[in-house]
Structure 1
Amino acid sequence: MEEQPPEPWRQKVAMLVFDTLEEMYFAGRHTDVEVIVKDKSFRCHKVVLSSVSQYFDAMFSSGMRECHAGVVHLQEIEYTTFVDILDFVYSGKLNICTENAEELLRASTMFQIKLLHQKCEEFLIEHVTVDNCIGAWRLAKSHECKELAKKSWYNILECFTEVCMSEDFNYLDTGEMFEIINDDDLQVTNEEIVCDAVFRWYRFDPENRQESASKLFEHLRLPLLSSEYLLQEVEPMELVVKDQRCREVVKEAISYQMLPSRRPDFNSPRVKFRRYANMEEVLVIIGGYNASNEKVSDVLAYSFTRKTWFQLMSLPLKLGREFASTVYGNDIFVSGGSQKLDLLLQYRSDTNEWGRCPNMPQGRRRHAMVAVGESLFVLGGYDDNQTYDADRTLKDISEYTISSRSWISCGELHTPVRSMTAAVNKEKIFVFGGLLADEKETNIVQYFDTRLKTCSRVEDLPYPCKMSRAVVCDKRVFIVCTDGNILQQDDNNDCKRVAKIRSFNRRRFGAIHHKGNILIAGGECGSSIYKDIFTFNPDVEKSETIARKNVPSRANFASLKLILHKKFLKFEVKFEKA
């Protein structure tokens, strides 16, 4: 006779035991422990309670008084809740609803009944709403419900505009508020919504929340607010007036808003766009030439968050080599270059369009251009159209006033120079190294005072350098040399070597400030064109690759950091492997 598979018999035996225990419980037969809840008595079986609950198993195995006396007193549970637990344990029935789900979950946690805990969590997940997601999130955290915490947290982030108006929001503690406003996935169209929510929370209990609000202030992304909101709503707040640290954070934000020429140098954890914001910070690559030595007119934007390249509006013409560029606010300006020496173009980030500006009075290439105040300054360079070789290396400094779209010749360099780099420090433009009229590489450092319109020479570089790149990080000026040496200018205008990028030998590369570090892109060495983007921390001499795959091969190009509306980041670009 063929034997039956064992599994069906196990199930039959299990059901028989289960049904019999339920019958014995209701009949009160063979019970060996009395559980008393709120003066109500329940006759139960130790073995049944122990089989489903680690709490009771530990109790009955420990030799505690309850183990010998056969009586257990439970204080922190309601009578009706324990009835529901016994129904679940003995009959498999789960009497769960919105009114008792939280209490059952708490009881399942206390008694360590895993299956009941799972069922309660599943029920609560199905009933998470905008109105109760904060309560569900707090409940989930205290009772180890990972999936419930995930679902409720998603609701908080996705529906924050509605959630922050709920009553539960007023009762968040400081740590919970910090966790919410710090999340980059918070779905808000602007940072004013976040500030409004935090300020309402503070005003709900200002006496007890003043210190907490002061700490939270550091995590509000105030530089991203509109100027009107910052000056009219934030700065006059009593909390700001009374608290020095709050005033410092507000001052930082006002500086960001009122100094558009210095925004690329700005480094603060508060200048960080959320994933769902309309705006995004990108690396922009303009023109130059590629690995085939072809001049290109494309304009590319690299999304740091999405790690993807996008095509922006192309240049209206090919700039050729050795043009200069700078950022003012959220617009890009490009000047000169081998194709048209007196050219000035403006890229409008609000429309993704290029426009022509009045031509420079003195055409040039291999020059420097920076933004200071409300003007652009073009310094030195090389003019191919000059009759005599000695006159081709320029000392002229021209100023372009952006609002009036007009040029003036505002001064001269102390020493004519080209192929140099420049940086702004306290309204002074410092020009580092370069090539002199006699083709010699120089270590001269000179600065132009934009107020006095005078130029002076200061302490020299440790050694001559040309085609270097100046980067301002945290108000510190670094000069990245073609051999990888990093020089730093101190407060006394002395320049010293402070670090070195290993295995670095390139020129015509891009270098910008990025999150307190120096970002290097592209460049050339001999006939080789680099295809990489990495950051370098000069304090610890550590490099970190941002992108090595799908990177355009570029040299003699412009690299800048810009804030763009995401509607212009639509057309993805792929590049061939190196």
Structure 2
Amino acid sequence: MTLSQKGGKQKSKPLGLSKGLRQLYQHQLLCDSTVVCEGKRFSCHRAVLAAVSPYFHDVFTSSQKESPSGEVLLQDVAPSLFQSILTYIYTEEVSLTEETAQALFEAADKLKILPLVDICYRFFRKNISPQNCFALYRLAQAHSDQALLQATVRFVILNFSRFCEDDDFLYLDLTSLITILSSGDLAAASELDVFRAAQRWVRAHPGTYHFLVNALMSHVRLPLLTDSELAEVQAYLGQVGDVQLQCKQLDGEERLRASRGLRAGMYDECIMCINTQILETQAPDTEDSFMDCYDPCTRTWRKLPGLTSLTHPACAALGDRLFVSGGIRRNSYSDALYEFSSFKGSWAQLPSMLVPRATHGFLVCDQRLYAMGGWCGFHEFLSSAECFDIAEGTWTPIARMPCVLSRCAAAVLGKKLYLLGGVTGLTSYWQFHKGLLIYDVSKDAWTQVLLDAAFFSAGAVAMNNGIYVVGGYTEKRAGERIYEGGLMPENRYCSRKCFFLAEDGSVNHEIAVPKLPKGIAYAGVVGWGKRIYVLGGEDTTHCYKTIYYWEPGEHRWSRCPDDVPVPEGVSGFGCTTLKIPKERMLSLLQETSVALIAVVGK
């Protein structure tokens, strides 16, 4: 009902229909029909069931499908399931578990209650596991649900080594199999495992052998087979006959091009700490330069070549390529850009930035590097930003930032770059930036978002459709500022606080993030797998060598048994994750030898 006043309309109060239906159901009032499941009777309302279920609409509008007593016999639906369905219809509440979800889905699908069907689909996609993956795959096929089908195939790709010898693997359809075999994200440590999986599938479908050989072998990255693996493949194909093998002498780079790159499972994802051994108090070139490389899986450190005499560098990684820009070298601000190849284990210098920078934001998005803000002198803060096209090898300016900014946390989410917190000046005190900047790559435009809290030298990790902000320095109140004998009175303290930002830059208070075990700023903060790692860092008096990690959903941070391999602790170093080829793949790519490049059925 609406009320009219001077030609305008005013909305009345809500009718309370949902509440009324809930009460009618709970007190069993005005029921005019009974549904019978395996002998158990459920009193309900024709109009309500017919409104939400085309199945019941058909039953109640057809006199031949309902008994004269008003009872409806519902076949193949257990009483417990129908009770859950009634509860959902009258209250819009449903409880799903892995044990009950599929049966409830099938009942909801039978009754054509589409919102409940959709809830079940979302539950399935969120709860795929090794135990139910193929059952959900078959369910998706039976009901032609492409979203669930794609999710299960994706799960097989990411867990390929676990599934490739499973009997259920043989019942994948050809389209799904090709999607799996062609994926660069395939978790296969050896291409021989991929070949064997294709071989097993072909043996299970012998009627179309030659067609399948031609269809599947083009998706096996044959040049990635080692000499011993190649011998096994050649022996098998030689026994089969009716195929032609095409071989060619290839070096490492040619193998990569011919195979379209390594699979995800052929890399180790490691945490790189750039030049942690060089401190601001250390004389240049006092020791060989190196990077520290940490593998959380094996909990081991190793050293890789580094960059000489560089502090406060900014770094970003794109797959197996590591980029380092700017920083301070021999008391001079740098405009240099370097690339480290994890295949070659060496550095190459790329075209320099347009402006020297240190403590700046540095991110990679859509095959481009973005260097933003920073400072080029003790009191010289920057608002300029620039973009490097990796393919073209050129720097170009982008839109100027709304304010000068340095020591901000930085993250990429979707097609947007986020600079969080930071400082805008250094006079008598640190000048805190109370907010964040969001750069829209497609529009070349910045947006400024205010936050309640000010911070700098925090860490940021994009994960779970948002950004986790970790630690950093927070601003002291005016009465708390004290002179500690340094260059200025201290107006900062080290924070334990962590929080989650939504895509629009607002703080999501519904997602709880535990506090750090201690206040930590200027640490190496990275996302690895499902975890966030915090390496090293500092407070106002000393540096740390500790490593902490946390996985969303856990109630506290955990201390890693390992430390950063710097006895005195370290902060302000470049830190990112990098894909490094496994040793067996590195060995293959460092030699020139005969490679199998194609298998063609005659």
TM-score (norm 1): 0.51
Question: Residue 344 in 1 paired to residue 323 in 2?
Answer: no
Hey, what does 1:122 align to over in structure 2? none
SS at 1:440's partner residue?
A: strand
Q: Does 1:379 align with 2:349?
A: no
- The residue correspondences of 1:170-181 to structure 2 (distance < 5 A) are 173-174=167-168
TM-superposed CA distance for 1:494, in Å, is: 1.0
CA distance in 2 between counterparts of 1:427 and 1:175 reads 36
Cα–Cα, structure 1 residues 290 and 353, in superposed 2: closer, same or farther, change >3 Å? closer
Deviation, structure 1 residue 481: 2.2
Q: Structure 1 353/196 Cα, relative in aligned 2: closer, same or farther at 3 Å?
A: same
Amino acid of the structure 1 residue aligned with 2:579: I
Q: Which residue of 2 is the match for residue 331 of structure 1?
A: 321
**Where does residue 446 of structure 2 map in the other structure?**
455
Amino acid paired to 2:273: I
Does 532-541 or 363-372 show the bigger shift? 532-541
1:356 is aligned to 349
Equivalence for 2:576 = 560
- The residue aligned with 1:526 is 540
2:470 aligned residue: 480
Q: CA–CA distance in 1 between the matches of 2:353 and 2:196?
A: 49
Q: Distance in 1 between matches of 2:584 and 2:316?
A: 20
Deviations 1:40-62 (A, max 9, x none): xxxxxxxxxxxxxxxxxxxxxxx
Q: Secondary structure at the match of 2:323?
A: strand
Contact 1:311 1:569 in 2 (8 A): no
SS in 1 for 2:375: coil
What are the Cα deviations for residues 122-177 of structure 1, in whole angstroms up to 9, with x where unaligned?
A: xxxxxxxxxxxxxxxxxxxxxxxxxxxxxxxxxxxxxxx9xx9xxxx8xx744999
Aligned to 2:423: 435
Residue 313 of structure 1 is matched in structure 2 by: 305
One-letter amino acid matched to 1:445: L
AA of the residue aligned to 1:397: A
Corresponding letter in the other structure for 1:450 = V
Q: CA deviation at 1:343?
A: 1.8
Q: Is the CA contact 2:496–2:516 (under 8 Å) kept in the aligned structure 1?
A: yes
The answer to whether the Cα contact below 8 Å between 2:423 and 2:432 also exists between their aligned partners in 1 is: yes
Asked whether the equivalents of residues 289 and 557 of structure 1 are also in contact (C-alpha less than 8 Å), the reply is: no
- Cα contact 1:291–1:528 (8 A) shared by 2: no
Distance 2:323 2:548 in 1: 24
Q: Counterpart amino acid of 1:471? A: V
* Aligned residue in 2 for 1:505: 519
**Partners of 1:436 and 1:445 in 2: how far apart?**
12
Instruction: Supply the distance in 1 between the matched residues of 2:296 and 2:346 (Cα, whole angstroms).
Output: 22
Structure-2 residue corresponding to 1:298: 290
Equivalent pair of 2:533/2:548 in contact (CA under 8 Å):
yes
Secondary structure in 2 aligned to 1:436?
A: strand
Q: 1:446 maps to what in 2?
A: 437
**Post-superposition offset of 1:472:** 1.5
Deviation at 1:468, TM superposition (A): 0.8
How has the CA–CA distance of structure 1 residues 536 and 290 changed in structure 2, closer, same or farther, with 3 Å as cutoff? farther
Which of 501, 511, 514 is matched with 2:528 structurally? Answer: 514
1:225–1:288 CA distance, 2 compared to 1 (3 A): farther
Instruction: Pick the aligned partner of 1:413 from 398, 401, 407.
Output: 401
Write the distance in 1 (CA, Å) between the matches of 2:553 and 2:451.
20
Post-superposition shift, 1:300? 1.5
Separation of aligned partners in 1, 2:405 and 2:580:
35
The Cα of 1:467 is off from its aligned counterpart by 0.5
- Residue matched to 1:79: none
Tell me the distance in 1 between the aligned counterparts of 2:281 and 2:425.
27
1:418–1:309 distance in 2 versus 1, CA, 3 Å: same
1:539 to 553, 556, 559: 553
The aligned counterpart of 1:149 is none
Alignment check: 8 A CA contact 1:486 1:538 kept: no
1:199 and 1:569 mapped to 2: Cα distance?
21
> What is the rounded CA distance, in whole Å, between the counterparts of 1:307 and 1:499 in structure 2?
25
* Cα-to-partner distance string for 1:392-434 (whole Å, 9 max, x where unaligned): 2211111111122211111111222111111111211111111
Q: Point out the structure with the larger helix share.
A: 1
Residues 228/401 of structure 1: CA separation in 2 closer, same or farther (3 Å cut): farther
Alignment deviations for residues 251-273 of structure 1 (CA, whole Å, 9 cap, x no partner)? xxxxxx9xxxxxxxxxxxxx974
Determine if contact 2:533/2:550 at 8 Å carries over to the other structure.
yes
Change over 3 Å in CA distance of 1:487–1:462 after alignment to 2: farther
User: Number of residue pairs matched?
Assistant: 328
In terms of mean alpha carbon deviation, does 406-415 or 304-313 score higher? 304-313
* Counterpart-to-counterpart distance in 2, 1:335 and 1:484: 29
Which amino acid is the alignment partner of residue 554 of structure 1?
V
Alignment of 1:147-162 (within 5 A): none
> CA distance change for structure 1 residues 556 and 568 in 2, over 3 Å: closer, same or farther?
farther
> Please, what TM-score do these two structures have when normalized by structure 2?
0.49
In structure 2, distance between residues paired with 1:530 and 1:568: 35
Q: 1:455 to 1:492 in 2, by over 3 A?
A: closer
SS state at 2:374 partner = coil
Question: Residues 238-253 of structure 1 correspond to what in structure 2 (within 5 A)?
Answer: none
Label 1:314 to 1:437 Cα distance change in 2 as closer, same or farther (>3 A). Answer: closer
Task: Write the deviation string for residues 70-127 of structure 1: whole angstroms up to 9, x where unpaired.
Answer: xxxxxxxxxxxxxxxxxxxxxxxxxxxxxxxxxxxxxxxxxxxxxxxxxxxxxxxxxx
* 2:382 partner amino acid: L
Q: Deviations over 1:218-240 (max 9, x none)?
A: xxxxxx986999xxxxxxxxxxx
Greater gyration radius: 1
Equivalent pair of 2:276/2:292 in contact (CA under 8 Å): no
Q: SS of the counterpart of 1:494? A: coil
SS of 1:196 mapped into structure 2:
helix
Q: Contact 1:501 / 1:536 at 8 angstroms: preserved in 2?
A: no
Matches within 5 A, 1:24-35: none
> Secondary structure of the residue that 2:193 maps to in structure 1?
helix
Give the structure 2 partner of residue 287 of structure 1.
275
Q: Which runs of 5+ in 1 are unaligned?
A: 1-160, 182-187, 208-223, 230-256, 258-270, 571-578
SS in 2 for 1:283: strand
1:291 Cα deviation after fit = 7.9
In structure 1, distance between residues paired with 2:194 and 2:533 = 32
Percent identity, aligned pairs only, is 18
Q: CA deviation at 1:196?
A: 3.2
